[in-house]
Amino acid sequence: MNKDELLKEYVETFGEKGQDVFFSPGRINVIGEHTDYNGGHVFPAAISLGVYGVYGPRDDKKVRLFSGNVNGNIVEFDIDDTTVEKGERFWANYFKGMITYLREKYDNIDHGFNLYIKANLPSGSGLSSSAAIEMLMGIILKDEFKLDVDRVNLAKMGQRTENEFVGLNSGIMDQFACIMGKKDSAIFLDCNTLEYEYLPLELGNYEIIIMATNKPHTLADSAYNDRVRECHDALTKLQEKLDIKALGELDNDTFDEYSYLINDKTELKRARHAVSENQRAIRATKAMKDGDLEKIGRLINASHISLHYDYEVTGKELDTLAEASWKQDGVLGARMIGGGFGGSAIAIVKKDKAEEFKKNVGKTYRDKIGYDASFYDAEIVDGSKMI
């Protein structure tokens, strides 16, 4: 997206010049899905699709937000207003929560601002537009108000915004990936300890293709919070005999030996996914270090199977994309990413087969689902920043 064009749109919206332009990326997750809130490992990367913001300071206490993607009016509130927005203004909560929690710690956020936002990240795509927005607001406040806050703590505040202000019981992966991203690398993150390591995404003749279902979904309205609760209930039963704080602390063998404690079909499946997916993430990052791309591909496929049968968060749209991808030439692996129930999938595809892949999978999807999927080539980029 062109910086000059964004500055021009800011002037058209607010009738004055903007001061600075920022970008906050979305994310993909190579493997490790629904493990973050279970204290497991994830392997995400920031992508070149994201959210842009043009900032202009004000000399009063008003915050004025306008989205170039939403057909609506300017959303205006006082900087010390901590009420949750409802209805068509709901999107403003991702900004408002960050302002609220940063102002609790930093009293030098003492004046309002105008903010023009525009995204080329499809909303509801499972590429984490909400975390991109939270980290956009975080990096703007850090830079413009000279806050002494590090990026990891901004990620924690983003998760708090999601959990407490918006009401989605998500883990920290999305915010961490958006703010801590590194060009051409994925982040191997232990969500239990927040220890992390950058690993180059060295895919040789292969590339990552993002496949958006274009099915509208909102995680906060979905069964996401149910999955969190089911895993928590399973963990509580395991804690009768095991000294653990999270499902991510278990390996497959230990889980198998103690699974009789759960004795509930649904909770057993949810916990089995959380444990096995964490182990897959650990094995996949070892395979990445070893340069074993075929093994990574098989583990990615296995991740989708577990998300389908044990976690039950895929649905016909995501299953169609993954299953059609597995049948194409030059595909190492494919799976749904994100919360599920819609959103997106990824495939690792040979570069010289990419166009044929998109055509074939696109046709299968349209024939089966009745409307088109969208395909994006994923460039891996740095985290949220001023541009």
- Report the 10 Å Cβ neighbour count for 71: 6
Number of residues in the chain? 387
Spell out the SS3 assignment of 103-117: HHHCCCCCCCEEEEE
Q: Which residues contact 339 (CB under 8 A, 6 or more apart)?
A: 34, 126, 170, 217, 219, 222, 224, 313
Q: Which residues contact 357 (CB under 8 A, 6 or more apart)?
A: 209, 325, 328, 329, 330, 331, 347, 349
Q: Is 128 annotated as a binding residue?
A: yes
DSSP code of 30? S
Q: Is 224 annotated as a binding residue?
A: yes
Q: Is 124 annotated as a binding residue?
A: yes
Of 4, 150, 174, 329, the catalytic one is 174
Q: How far is CA 246 from the centre of its chain?
A: 21
Q: Do the beta carbons of residue 172 and residue 248 sit within 8 Å? A: no
CA 164/CA 169 separation, integer angstroms = 8
Q: Is 344 annotated as a binding residue?
A: no
Residue position matching structure tokens 């910086």: 3
User: Has 310 been annotated as catalytic?
Assistant: no
Q: Do the beta carbons of residue 163 and residue 182 sit within 8 Å? A: no
Q: Is 50 annotated as a binding residue?
A: no
Q: Is 320 annotated as a binding residue?
A: no
Give the dihedral of Cα atoms 152, 158, 161, 163; nearest 10 deg.
-80
Q: Is 382 annotated as a binding residue?
A: no
Selection from 293, 279, 303 nearest residue 350 by Cα: 293
Q: Is 67 annotated as a binding residue?
A: yes
Q: Which residues contact 249 (CB under 8 A, 6 or more apart)?
A: 39, 192
Written as one letter, the residue type at 40 is: G
Q: Is 303 annotated as a binding residue?
A: no
What is the spatial order of strands in the sheet that 113-119 belongs to?
75-78, 62-67, 113-119, 44-57, 20-29, 385-386
CA 253/CA 268 separation, integer angstroms = 14
Q: Is 126 annotated as a binding residue?
A: yes
**Binding positions:** 33-36, 67, 124-130, 162, 224
**Binding positions for ATP:** 67, 124-130
**Binding positions for Mg(2+):** 130, 162
List active site positions.
174
